[in-house]
Structure 1
Amino acid sequence: MKVLQFTIPVSHEKSVIVERVCLPYHYPYLHRHKEIQLTWIRKGEGTLIVGNNMHDYSAGDVFLIGANLPHVFKSNPEYFDHNSNKKIEALTVFFNPEGTLLPLFNMAEMKPALTFFQQYQQGFKVPHSIADKVVAAMVALDKASGLDQIIQFFNLIKGITSAKCKLSPLSTYGNLPGITENEGIRIGNIYNYIIQHYSEAITLEDVAKVAYMTPESFCRYFKKHTGNTFISFLNEIRINEACKKLIAHKFESINNVAYKCGFSSITNFNRVFKCVIGVTPKGYIDSYNNNVISLNRAAG
């Protein structure tokens, strides 16, 4: 069996690494790396798990993920269907201000940029107001070579740091980057198990076995290293998937969605849904439909 690493090494053939991928689905394992990651989702939908938080993603979204910040782009379930023709496409830029680029970021003119990345170590979603500018710089960087690539990198940094609005962090649990490699592998295995089995009746005993711990020890460990309780993380995964199913209009009933997302009763589903989202499942569908109608009217 292949041993999965938690800290993934990124090629250091260049100071700035550009990676273009076209695959059936995103790399499905929680991991981290020393480089800051800037990813433009060209095609694909799913959930981005960063540290202790979850964020939906779709085509057009751009995310900056801080150095050593554990993350996984979890493609929607249909991308893993053997009969699916769906593909994901993404363009990613990796760079490490504290590696080979350190002399560059130590320049007086670059100190504000270095401070910016230190301030946003927990990452952020690039706001729509500058997303087109950032994507254009990423594409230009991908096409460039040699000295021109460094010039385009300057343009990219200028674009990223031009955001005038307050940027919300992707993760709100600041101690996660400090976990050891072995702890990261164990947490990754736990996350992967929950992500793959959320639709089933997962028990505390089941997931504790994955971590080779007693249930009591596992509860303390998971809370300490993720900032979440096991139940709250599992519920967020399930409700996140339920939201996608509800607005896709490909379900027979709300009850059907509840059972397909791992809930054994509609009463519990409704209670957890309102606790996580703030409204009932029906209220969520009505709100979504009203927003769609409003957007269509505005476009018309």
Structure 2
Amino acid sequence: MKVLPFTIPVPEGQTIIVQEEMQSHFYPHLHRHAEIQITWIKRGEGTLLTGNSMHSFKAGEVYVLGANLPHLFRSSPEYFDESNKLDVQELTIFFDPTGKLSALFDLPEMQAVKTFFEKWQVGFKIPVEVTGAFREQIDMVQHTRGVYRMSVFLRMVNLLMGIENLQPLSVASHTQPLTDPEGMRIASVLNYIMHNYSSTLTLEDVALQAHLTPNAFCRYFKKHTRLTFVAFVNKVRVNQACKLLINGELNTIADIAYSCGFSSINNFNLTFKKIMGKSPRDYVNDYTHRVK
């Protein structure tokens, strides 16, 4: 599971790389790469892990991820069940301002753009009110070539910089080198948690993934995520519970609690309210009221 450095295949003669993928689930390992990434989720849903933060994602949303930002679009559990015959689809634009595009980004006219992407290395989600217009720009980049693609790309970047009230996806910058062994280690740990949150996760088992004693692991994990091990696991489980509550996929709140790895309904209710600021039932009622 130590899949952190990731090389984006670069087609010959292209610096703006467009990839559209359709598969049974999203790439299931935490990774990062030198390219900035703009991803349109066409089909699929799950949990987005960015740096030390996590967010639910669903079809129609667009995300901008900074260079070297560790990330994982983790599909919901049902996408790993072959009997469901579900699939996902994503359209992604990759570009590296420090690679072949460095001459462009070093121009005086591009300094504001360069500064923008440095500031937002932590990533952000395109706000819903402009998502439609931004998806059109991504589609245009995909279906153009040569100098016209570059023109459309620059127009898209200009639109990006005009968006107000952006919210960061991660609370800290992650710009250490791709070969950083500490990054490899934390990637292994986070991958293990994301794959096994619905089961019993002991401190000893997870510490083993980092080749550390439990006490040393607790210090190490808090340093890299700013959360305790238990707090991080609870956030992963509550995040999944939120999706199940909204989708109405299980009959009762107790079913949801146990499917997300909680050992009791009381523990689930207390943990959910601590993280979300409201009870599971109030969360559902508030969501239902907003979408009416």
Alignment TM-score > 0.5, same fold: yes
Alignment partner of 1:83: what SS?
Answer: helix
- Equivalence for 1:56: 56
Give structure 1 regions of 4+ aligned residues with deviation exceeding 3 angstroms.
none
Question: Deviation of residue 199 (structure 1)?
Answer: 1.2
Distance of 1:169 and 1:272 partners within structure 2: 24
- Equivalence for 2:141: 141
Q: Say what the alpha-carbon RMSD is for the aligned residues.
A: 1.5
Distance of 1:133 and 1:288 partners within structure 2: 25
Question: Deviation of residue 238 (structure 1)?
Answer: 0.5
- Equivalence for 2:36: 36
* Residue type of the alignment partner of 1:170: L
Question: Deviation of residue 8 (structure 1)?
Answer: 0.4
* TM-score for the superposition, normalised by structure 2: 0.94
Distance of 1:259 and 1:91 partners within structure 2: 34
Distance of 1:282 and 1:193 partners within structure 2: 30
Distance of 2:192 and 2:275 partners within structure 1: 21
- Equivalence for 1:266: 265
* TM-score for the superposition, normalised by structure 1: 0.92
- Equivalence for 1:10: 8
Residue segments in structure 1 that go unaligned for 5+ positions in a row: 296-300
Alignment partner of 1:196: what SS?
Answer: helix
Alignment partner of 2:90: what SS?
Answer: strand
2:176 counterpart (171, 178, 182): 178
- Equivalence for 1:156: 156
Distance of 2:153 and 2:28 partners within structure 1: 28
Q: How does 1:241-260 map to 2 (within 5 A)?
A: 241-260=240-259
Q: How does 1:75-114 map to 2 (within 5 A)?
A: 75-114=75-114
Task: Give the share of equivalent positions with the same residue, in percent.
Answer: 43
- Equivalence for 1:298: none
Distance of 1:124 and 1:73 partners within structure 2: 14
CA distances 1:32-64 after superposition (whole Å, capped 9, x unpaired): 001100001111111111011111111110000
Alignment partner of 1:89: what SS?
Answer: strand
Distance of 1:58 and 1:290 partners within structure 2: 19
Question: Deviation of residue 129 (structure 1)?
Answer: 3.1
Alignment partner of 1:255: what SS?
Answer: helix
Contact 2:203 2:214 in 1 (8 A): yes
Question: Deviation of residue 114 (structure 1)?
Answer: 1.2
Distance 1:120 1:254, change over 3 A: same
CA distances 1:1-46 after superposition (whole Å, capped 9, x unpaired): xx75411011233211111111111001000001100001111111
Distance of 2:115 and 2:18 partners within structure 1: 23
* Residue type of the alignment partner of 2:268: F
Distance of 2:167 and 2:246 partners within structure 1: 25
Question: Deviation of residue 78 (structure 1)?
Answer: 0.6
Contact 1:17 1:95 in 2 (8 A): yes
Contact 1:173 1:226 in 2 (8 A): no
* Residue type of the alignment partner of 2:263: S
Distance 1:118 1:26, change over 3 A: same
Q: Which moved more, 1:66-75 or 1:190-199?
A: 190-199
Question: Deviation of residue 118 (structure 1)?
Answer: 1.3
Distance of 1:246 and 1:134 partners within structure 2: 29
- Equivalence for 1:231: 230
Alignment partner of 1:177: what SS?
Answer: coil
CA distances 1:228-263 after superposition (whole Å, capped 9, x unpaired): 211111001111111111222232321221111111
* Residue type of the alignment partner of 1:59: A
Distance of 1:129 and 1:253 partners within structure 2: 33
CA distances 1:75-134 after superposition (whole Å, capped 9, x unpaired): 111111011221111110011112111111122222211111111111110112332222
- Equivalence for 1:127: 127
